[in-house]
A and B are shown apart, each in its own frame.
Chain A
Amino acid sequence: MSKHLLGNESFTQDFIEVTIEVLFTMTGLDVESSGFYEIEGHSQGLDVTSCMDITGILGFSGGRRGSVLLTFKEETALKAVGGMLGMEFKEIDYYVRDGVGELVNMIAGGAKAKLQPKGLDFELSIPNTISGPAHKLSAPDSAVRTRLDFTSPAGIFFAEIYLQEAVLLPL
């Protein structure tokens, strides 16, 4: 039986579209999707944040539990948040962390709006941002994560979605 009762592809495309729209509207960056794939359990070598400098993460609760993260190299984050404010940033500071958190917040909210009519609903938590070279985030062993790759004029970046499977109750 498929591990994905709803099929990850049914939400992957929505997250891709929302990410491109949010980044373009808020930062002015022309973002393109460059692929997506699933990462199962302990795929340490594929830990997406370990080669990045700043990650915004937001948890889902309620209907479906899980999280979405957005992770950038420093120079990409500086350009993205710089674009939001029409300012130039030289280092990751309070505003850059805040801006990355708000981007992930908008992506999660936009995806929620697209997924609600498909019967996939969840509540949004408050976004958090983690920064520093080679920071690592771990997901539960059982988690199937979907990683989305993007390219932009300010550099490549990634998103990763983890949605817990729906629990089917016996009839």
Chain B
Amino acid sequence: MKILVVDDSAVMRKIMIKALNEGGYTDVVEAANGLEALEKSAGVDLVFTDWNMPVMDGLAFVKEFRKTTQKPIVIITTEGGKKEVLEAMKSGINDYIVKPFSANVILSKIESLLQKSGCGPD
């Protein structure tokens, strides 16, 4: 399973990749903004994306990504306000994580998304 991690913070990307690797997910690509994420999104099975990023933010990326694929997207954001979460849901995300989060939240989101799509971990 190929996972795309998008965040403008290098520290946050490191934290997420470490959590994914520890959970056995080693095929991970990273991008620092939405535009770079679109360029690297071919063949990706699942996306974790930040919201607040320069160049192209998370919402704009989700809208573009959704034009070509329905692969699951989890938005990871500091924007925990109700208004923002609703806006993200409308743009086509499948789930969200509010920062600050602990690393194991990442893995449990993957599990629940895989179960929803009917293909549990092998």
Contacts and interface: CB of A to CB of B under 8 A. Distances in A.
Contacts, number: 67
A43 interface: no
B97 to A, nearest CB: 12
Interface string B69-80: 000000001111
A73 interface: no
Given A26-B100, A109-B79, A109-B80, A85 B15 contact: yes
A21 B77 CA distance: 15
A60 B32 CA distance: 22
A106 to B, nearest CB: 5
B99 A106 contact: yes
A21 B100 contact: yes
Tell me whether chain A's interface is mostly helix, strand or loop, or mixed: helix
Interface in B1-50: 8-12, 14-15, 18
Contact of A126 (B15, B54, B83): B54
Given A22-B100, A26-B100, A84 B15 contact: yes
Contacts of B14: 85, 95
A95 B9 CA distance: 9
A66 interface: no
A110 B10 contact: no
B105 to A, nearest CB: 10
Given A116-B83, A124-B52, A124-B79, A109 B99 contact: yes
Interface residues of B, number: 23
A31 interface: no
A25 B15 CA distance: 12
Interface residues of A, number: 26
B60 interface: no
Interface string A74-108: 00000001001110000000110011011001101
A102 B12 CA distance: 8
Contacts of A121: 81
B8 to A, nearest CB: 7
Given A109-B79, A113-B81, 18 more contacts: A21-B100, A25-B101, A84-B11, A85-B11, A85-B15, A85-B18, A99-B9, A102-B12, A105-B78, A106-B99, A106-B100, A109-B77, A109-B80, A110-B99, A113-B79, A116-B82, A124-B78, A126-B8
18 contacts: A21-B100, A94-B10, A95-B10, A95-B11, A98-B11, A99-B9, A102-B12, A105-B52, A105-B78, A109-B78, A109-B79, A110-B78, A110-B99, A110-B100, A112-B78, A113-B79, A126-B8, A126-B53
Interface of B: 8-12, 14-15, 18, 52-54, 77-83, 98-102
